[in-house]
Structure 1
Amino acid sequence: MRHTNFARVAAFAVCAAAASYAYGASISGAGATFPYPIYAKWAQMYNKETGFQLNYQSIGSGGGIQQIKNKTVTFGASDMPLEPKQLTAAGLVQFPTVVGGDVPVVNLDGIGAGDLTLDGPTLADIFLGKITKWDDPAIKKLNPNAKLPSSAIVVVHRSDGSGTTFIFTNYLSKESPQWQSDVGASTSVEWPTGIGAKGNEGVSNNVTQAKGSIGYVEYAYALENKMASVKMINKDGKAVAPNSAAFQAAAANADWAHSDQYYVILTDQPGAETWPIAGATFILMYKQPVDPAASAEALKFFDWAYKNGAKAAESLDYVPLPASVIAQIEKTWATEIKGPDGKPVYAN
């Protein structure tokens, strides 16, 4: 059962930290909960193959950005890419690892995964607090055959700084002028309504426990907790279910080769099969790291993950990066992340 597997990986990550510190290593990362399932899985696989231990703290993208800026971790992780000017000002490099999807999830009697369909404007109005009942005409119009209760909608959102929130609110900003003007897109926003919960884990738990609720989580968490995910009407007007093929369709439009420092946002992409709330997740590291040896070990881990972790990523419904993008990232490592001698800290 997936829940048991995730729990075992989480326990591994904690033990790995203790073991690393015991031997004097200082390899650590912190940030996004969106990619935590695959980072933890990769860490488990890497440990089995190499004996190396890696500690990753799933604290949210906002925390990951802050910790790397504070130089308390070897790498930070964020689902919100930093703008090139922000990276330059902080002396950071960013690179993507995998692509995944945010999915709205609901807890309604008689409604399973894929039984409910929403579009962007309706989803925005729910999170704006304008639509407050499940049998609202806007929801009924999209779901004429669904048995929708007249009960109140319980909105659940993230309370911490979150890249998952950035992806979700970026999408809502593209779909709703009112959302864009009143709330906007960021890792943390002033929510018009709802209950806050920490991490994808917290939102999953709250929606699972509260009847009549709706929230948003990374897809692996929806699968993990057997949650009722919602179909979305995409930019081409098609109702699509969240899955790796739909995330891949969104990723197909990513122009990494011409992006400035990998600043790519994948929400609301065209294509009949495209999931509209997709996004990449990113690693943040210093161009001139405080501990070059630790940075080299971190890059060695990600190099291994790119080469050996694709099947594990796919098993959790993440989309691995194309070989051409990985080659581009490896060039970035060689030209951007250097030790005090001016040489790359890692040469693969």
Structure 2
Amino acid sequence: MADPLFTHLSRSRLKFIGITALTLLFSAACLAQDITLNETGSTLLYPLFTTWVTHYTMSHPGVHIHIGATGSEAGIQQVEAGKVEIGASDAYMSDAQITQHARIINVPLAIAAQTVNYNVPGLNEVHLKLDGPTLAAIYTGTVRSWNAPQIAALNPDVRLPAHAIVPIRRAEGSGETFVFTQFLTFSTPSWETNPGYGTTIAWPDVPGSATAMGNAGMVKAIASTDYSIGYVGVSYSDSVAQAKIGTAALKNGAGEFVMPTTETIMAGAASLGARTPPDERLTLVFAPASGAYPLVNYEYAVVSTHQADPAVAAAIRRFLLWTIVPSEENQAWQSEAHLIPLPPHIWELSQAQIQSIR
């Protein structure tokens, strides 16, 4: 399979960039002693952050990084309140939030996606076809059973059960909710009007619906609840497979039903990624390109550019630059978490933003 990060970079250039960046980072790291950084937020990014922190602190013994999986909304809020140095988020901050906190930046570290998963006995090995309007109807309670005409029309060759659907959503403010509800908003005019999208929204009251905390909680809730449906961060794909729950093929902006694969996620990111502005706040959801998976997003580090301690600012810069270094090792870690490294033009934008932290 073609290298997803280095399509437009020669391997010789990659090697030069990687070695040069790593040399600078490791040389500078020797100057940092006994610095503590605190991170919290996205449960989707948590598995990769765990790997990053483990390897980084092994080679940087003077740096201590505490991480937490509290949900994207909490990650943003904790940075806004000055309680942590790094917030991890699947969602970018709104214009209103940026106006209130002009010194906070949103820095993509990787590309991710969400999957729509379900537990329908006898059909979990079938990739049911679903689209935005049907999912919106399920989460508003308009479509209540698995054999409803809307679902049957999308899956004419599947014998669907006449059983009530149990829609499951995240209980806490979540970046997965942000991306999932963006998909419903962009694909379904009635959802755009109300309730719209966000890390937290006013969910319609659907009888029999349920909530779950975090991605791990969502997988567990779907697996333990027959006839349920929910949405999960792609970094939990291994947990989804182990739980033997189904994964839907979703209708994209080009009218195609696609599965979440490295190729389709890359296609979704490439379709919209060229529009990424310098502040890198951009949705990658519901791309119009052929072959694009519709639930794609940047994984952000949310950080204040103004730190009270210059040594802390330097430690944040070094760590974040290290996380996006284009190396085969870093690519392997991201692949293990089912995430995709940043393409060159986004990497350059993220590097520029990180350098602004002082």
Report the TM-score, using the length of structure 1 for normalisation: 0.85
Single out whichever of 43-52 and 221-230 deviates more from structure 2.
Answer: 43-52
Please name the residue that 1:41 is paired with: 51
Counterpart residue type for residue 69 of structure 1: E
Q: Does 1:179 align with 2:199?
A: no
Q: Does 1:219 align with 2:234?
A: yes
Q: Is the 8 A contact 2:76 2:88 kept in 1?
A: yes
Please name the residue that 2:344 is paired with: 323
After TM superposition, the structure 1 = structure 2 runs for residues 213-252 of structure 1, keeping only pairs within 5 Å, are 213-226=228-241, 227-252=245-270
Number of residue pairs aligned between Structure 1 and Structure 2: 315
Please name the residue that 2:41 is paired with: 31
1:99 to 111, 114, 121: 111
What is the Cα deviation at residue 324 of structure 1? 2.8
Q: Does 1:203 align with 2:218?
A: yes
CA distance in 2, matches of 1:98, 1:259: 16
Please name the residue that 1:304 is paired with: 322
SS, match of residue 77 in structure 1: strand
CA distance in 2, matches of 1:77, 1:220: 14
Q: Is the 8 A contact 1:232 1:240 kept in 2?
A: yes
Please name the residue that 1:60 is paired with: 71
What is the Cα deviation at residue 333 of structure 1? 2.6
After TM superposition, the structure 1 = structure 2 runs for residues 1-348 of structure 1, keeping only pairs within 5 Å, are 25-51=35-61, 52-84=63-95, 86-90=97-101, 91-113=103-125, 115-192=127-204, 193=206, 194-226=209-241, 227-255=245-273, 259-307=277-325, 308=327, 309-334=330-355, 336-338=356-358
Mark the CA change 1:220 to 1:170 in structure 2 (over 3 Å): closer, same or farther: same
Mark the CA change 1:258 to 1:239 in structure 2 (over 3 Å): closer, same or farther: closer
5+ unaligned residues in a row in structure 2: which ranges? 1-32
What is the Cα deviation at residue 24 of structure 1? 5.6
Mark the CA change 1:113 to 1:296 in structure 2 (over 3 Å): closer, same or farther: farther
CA distance in 2, matches of 1:153, 1:258: 38
What is the Cα deviation at residue 255 of structure 1? 3.9
CA distance in 2, matches of 1:158, 1:290: 35
CA RMSD of aligned residues (A): 1.9
Q: Is the 8 A contact 1:244 1:314 kept in 2?
A: no
SS, match of residue 36 in structure 2: coil
Determine what percentage of the aligned residue pairs are the same residue.
Answer: 28
Q: Is the 8 A contact 2:118 2:222 kept in 1?
A: yes
CA distance in 2, matches of 1:260, 1:306: 17
CA distance in 2, matches of 1:241, 1:287: 38
Q: Is the 8 A contact 2:317 2:357 kept in 1?
A: no
Deviations 1:147-184 (A, max 9, x none): 21111100100010111101110110111122112211
Counterpart residue type for residue 344 of structure 2: A
Single out whichever of 70-79 and 253-262 deviates more from structure 2.
Answer: 253-262
What is the Cα deviation at residue 48 of structure 1? 3.6
What is the Cα deviation at residue 121 of structure 1? 0.8
What is the Cα deviation at residue 114 of structure 1? 5.1
Report the TM-score, using the length of structure 2 for normalisation: 0.83
